[in-house]
Amino acid sequence: MEFSREKLKKTAEEAFAVGKDHVSLGHVAEYIPELAKADPNAFGMYLLDGEGFSLGLGDHEKRFSIQSISKVIILAASLMLRGFDGTFSHVMMEPSGDSFNSILKLDTRSNLPFNPMINAGAIQTVSLLADSMSFEDLLELSRRLCLDPEIILDEAVYHSESETGDRNRAIVYLLKSKGVLMSDPEKTIDIYFKMCSLSVNAKSLASLGLIISNNGIDPFSGKRLIAADHVRVLRSLMFTCGMYDYSGKFGVRVGVPAKSGVGGGLVCAPRGPMGVGLYGPALDAFGNSKGAVKAMEHLSRTLRLHAFDY
Ligand code: GLU
């Protein structure tokens, strides 16, 4: 890294303060009733560099549901199980430009979902796994990739999702009706809901980011957890599609592979290696954590983390 630990710490503290200042401008997600209970003022951040530097700020220990960030783990699982061609013959890799739960283009422009970072694409990707991997297998993989053995299923969020997930059910049955879904729709959607309901904290997300930033190797144990070729795919799709229909602006302004979730989480995997995990359930109009996006803008600009800062 081209900056000192002191500079990293100082900049992270500034970024945290900038993010915290913006939290009041966001709103917690309400379409999943359980998410509406989150404290809109909560804000936490965790940074890790794999060489002993770690910093937790604010509500970094607070557990929350991973939501769409599980799409990164689902894609990693599919690449491991089915490989690149076996995955991308069933889901595309194009940004959709639509909201995360949109059905629009799925029915009019294409037979396959646009990418694995939106609901339709993640649901389709789960269908590639559902006959070979159980939810328990995916939970185990999530614990390994987040270096967090304490990740559990948040039952309340899972039931809330499942009871109100009509749009996601519509997606899974639309995929079935088009003949592209690769497993049973109920089995598929149940695993999808459960994966969205994993309870993580900012440190779990920072660890996931660090492993992605470190080419798939856990820097603490030296073990390879994800193949380097697969990490390149994860980073690329996080960069182009990870921030809903704000992905383009985030790519220009922040420029690091990232994935957000409507539970308020954000994982970032800048060069370094470095992992940043953020939590702020007050969201902007795109569904991204308001404070987390602002904090990352400051961090990236000040430390020149943008992928295209040559
Ligand atoms: N469980 C959420 C849904 O499917 C995930 C959405 C998200 O975090 O983007 O609606």
| Domain contains 308 | no
Pick the last residue of a domain from 154, 183, 198.
198
pLDDT of amino acid 110: 64
Is residue 109 pLDDT above 60, yes or no? no
Span 291-295, mean pLDDT?
A: 98
Residue type at position 17: A
**68 within ligand 1 shell (Cβ under 6 A):** yes
Q: Is the CB of 102 under 6 A from ligand 1?
A: no
| Residues whose CB is less than 8 angstroms from the CB of residue 54 and which lie 6 or more positions away in sequence, other chains included | 46, 47, 48, 206
The pLDDT of residue 5 is 93
pLDDT at residue 102, as a whole number: 72
Same domain, residue pair 87 and 33: no
Structure tokens at 268: 């970032």
Q: Is there a single domain that holds both residue 56 and residue 73? A: no
Among 244, 256, 267, 290, which one carries the catalytic annotation?
A: 244
Query: At 279, which amino acid appears?
Result: Y
Residue 205 belongs to a domain: yes
**Does 101 sit in the ligand 1 pocket, CB within 6 Å?**
yes
Establish whether 310 is a catalytic residue. Answer: no
- 96 plus 57 within the same structural domain: no
Confidence of residue 108 (pLDDT cuts 50, 70, 90): low
Q: What is the mean pLDDT of the chain?
A: 95
pLDDT, position 310: 85
Q: Is the same domain home to 88 and 183?
A: yes
Claim to verify: residue 187 and residue 78 sit in the same structural domain: yes
102-131 average pLDDT score: 87
How much of the chain exceeds pLDDT 70, in percent? 98
Q: For a pocket test of ligand 1, which of 32, 64, 73, 100 has the largest count of ligand atoms closer than 8 A to its C-beta?
A: 100
The DSSP code for 50 is S
For residues 169 and 80, state if they share a domain: yes
Which protein residue's CA is at the shortest distance from atom 10 of ligand 1? 101
pLDDT reading at 284 higher than 70: yes
Whether 309 maps to a domain, the answer reads no
Pair (118, 138) in one structural domain: yes
Q: Is the pLDDT of residue 260 over 60?
A: yes
What is d(CA 10, CA 150) in angstroms, rounded to the nearest whole number?
30
> What does the pLDDT look like over 78-93, one tens digit per residue?
999 999 999 999 999 9
Report the first-to-last Cα separation within the chain, whole angstroms: 14
Helices 228-241, 70-88: crossing angle, 10 deg rounding:
110
Which atom of ligand 1 lies closest to the CA of 168? 4
CA of 119 to the centre of ligand 1 (A): 7
**What's the sign of the alpha-carbon dihedral 199, 91, 289, 56?**
positive
Confidence of residue 269 (pLDDT cuts 50, 70, 90): very high
**Has residue 90 been placed in a domain?**
yes
Ligand 1 in reach of 168 Cβ (< 6 A):
yes
- Candidates 20, 71, 259, 294; catalytic one: 71
Predicted structure pTM score = 0.97
Q: Residues 141, 224: one domain? A: no
Provide the number of structural domains found in the chain: 2
Residue 48, Ramachandran bin (φ over 0: left; ψ between -120 and 50: alpha; else beta): beta
Element (H, E) at 47: strand 44-48
219 and 289 inside one domain: yes
Assess whether 102 and 160 both reside in one domain. Answer: yes
* 248-259 confidence digits (pLDDT tens): 999 999 999 999
Are 139 and 76 members of one domain? yes
What pLDDT, in 10s, does the model give residues 272-282?
A: 899 999 999 99
Distance 178 CA to ligand 1 centre (A): 22
Domain end among 167, 198, 229:
198
CATH number of 52's domain:
3.40.710.10
**How many angstroms separate the Cα of 75 from the Cα of each of 21, 79, 91, 245, 284?**
34, 6, 10, 19, 25
Query: How sure is the predictor about 97, in pLDDT bands with cuts at 50, 70 and 90?
Result: confident
* Rounded mean pLDDT, 110-129: 93
**In this structure, are 107 and 162 located in the same domain?**
yes
Is 31 within a domain? yes
Sheet containing 54-58: give its strands across.
54-58, 44-48, 275-279, 265-268, 258-260
Task: List, for residues 138-181, the tens digit of each pLDDT value.
Answer: 999 999 999 999 999 999 999 999 999 999 999 999 999 999 99
C-alpha gyration radius of the chain:
18
CA 22 to chain CA mean position, Å = 21
- What range defines the domain where residue 149 resides? 68-198
The predicted pLDDT at position 152 comes to: 98
The verdict on whether 244 is a catalytic residue reads yes
**Within the chain, what is the greatest distance between any pair of CA atoms?**
56
pLDDT at 96 > cutoff 90: no
Separation of alpha carbons 204 and 123, rounded Å: 23
Structural domain includes residue 310: no
Distance 310 CA to ligand 1 centre (A): 35
